[in-house]
Amino acid sequence: MTGGAGMRIVAVCGMGIGTAVLLKMNAEKALTQIGALGVVTAAALGTVHDAAQVADVLLVTADCADRLQLPPGAVVVIDDVLDLSEISDKLTAFAGH
């Protein structure tokens, strides 16, 4: 976790546009729902290693999760990027609320 700014979250999909942007927007809504602070950005799978250096958590689409070669822990797999409840629940669990 990062001081007053809250979590640094990176939403990841294959190209970093489209799905990652939807996931980013819904992660921002989820943060508001759970009353947590955070900054969410979108990234492509090809830049995930750079993103992992600055992120507290990577939100990754299920189809990309098996292509990641990162240690578990800061990677949260999202099955449905449109399911605000799933995103909220998983961010809550990650943040330890």
Q: Within the chain, which residues score under 70 in pLDDT?
A: 1-5, 16, 70-72, 97
Range 3-95: architecture per CATH:
3-Layer(aba) Sandwich (3.40)
19-34 helix and 84-95 helix, angle to the nearest 10 degrees: 60
| Other Cβ atoms within 10 Å of 48 Cβ, number | 22
pTM, two decimals, is 0.85
> What is the reported pLDDT for 45?
84
SS3 of residue 88 by DSSP: helix
Which structure tokens are listed for 27? 């992660």
Q: Where do the domains of the chain lie?
A: 3-95
